Amino acid sequence: MTAAEAIERFDAPLSGAAVVGGALRGMLRARPAEAILPRRVLQRDVTLEAGAVGAYARLCGFAPEQGVPITAPHILAFPLQMRLMLGADFPYPAMGLVHLHNRIRQHGRLNIGDRLTLTAKAGRFLAHDKGQAFTLETTATRDGATVWQGTSVYLRLGRPGRGDPAPVLNGDAADRLVGTWTLPADLGRRYARVSGDANPIHTSALGARLFGFRRAIAHGMWTKARAVAALSPPASLDAAEVEVAFRAPLFLPGQVGLYAGPADDIRDFEVRDAAGARAHLRGRLTLSPEDSLVC
């Protein structure tokens, strides 16, 4: 690791005031002539605490017997991602970025009480026809071994970007309605309390309108977690992968349907509007053979 890639450690999450201040500074800061992703590596140690994990799991629809959700490390790493995007060396304002895609790989069962070391860094630029996409990479290690990895793809709207093509998740096997959900108007605020993601487009109708939405929209990572909870077996997962593409905003309050293909080791799914015509999210859940046996 070079000096430019030295690890910076943080033990406390960002305060709300720090997030707002950093977001405003990012919007006012002059843009560099050529965008360069920072090479900083941020790290924090966390413990999977029963109270916090349980509150998150309940809001996302996980049953107690499903254990620690595969999506839980993402919210614990979110403060590190925010520090990256709010940094003076980040090429784009954090506000206005679009979360396009998220992939999570879990390599071993997560347990309450586990001590994890979370590491986050910017990855690479990706080409997209609506702007410049880039990745944020996160890993979680336990006793020195990698147990979890996450990759988020974000988009800065504008001229078509450079790099390898941004990932596209295709599939038409999600053809059976397996559940319907009613999303309350305060879902964004409730999710912000358990996740730390208090982006105003999710928590406030006024904040959403400032960024071009007619009312608040659901967090994409809540929608992903809710689908995973519904499609996972009634037991803790050992090894699994879940990949999603965020397709269209899900306005609050609202009603949606979960559509899925046949139950198997690999299962495609979609979250669609109440009429079943428009996809808000498209995903693919891949289970280990041992986990799929208990579905």
Q: What value does the mean pLDDT take over residues 169-191?
A: 93
Whether the per-residue pLDDT at 15 is higher than 60: the answer is: no
Q: Which of 258, 108, 71 is nearest to 175 (CA)?
A: 258
Mean per-residue pLDDT of the chain:
91
pLDDT for position 70: 98
Domain range enclosing 199 = 3-292
Question: What's this model's pTM, rounded to 2 decimal places?
Answer: 0.91
List CB contacts of 14: < 8 A, sequence separation 6 or more: 22, 79, 82, 83, 86
Helix axes 220-231, 187-195, angle to 10 degrees: 90
Reported as a single tens digit per residue, the pLDDT across 58-110 is: 999 999 999 999 999 999 999 999 999 999 999 999 988 999 999 999 999 99
* CATH number for 54: 3.10.129.10
Distance CA 52, CA 82 (A): 20
Residue 26 tokens read as 């990012």
Of 19-28, 212-221, 236-245, the poorest mean pLDDT is in 19-28
DSSP letter at 15 equals P
- 71 neighbors 116 (Cβ within 8 angstroms): no
Please determine, for residue 183, whether its predicted confidence score (pLDDT) is greater than 50.
Answer: yes
Provide the token pair at 185: 């108007």
What does each C-alpha distance from 266 to 149, 171, 249, 263, 283 come to in angstroms?
A: 19, 12, 26, 8, 11
- pLDDT value for 19: 52
pLDDT of residue 33: 64
pLDDT given at position 149: 98
* Structure confidence at residue 240 (pLDDT): 97
Amino acid at 182: T
Write down the pLDDT at residue 3. 45
Of 149, 118, 116, which Cα lies nearest the Cα of 135?
149
Number of domains in the chain: 1
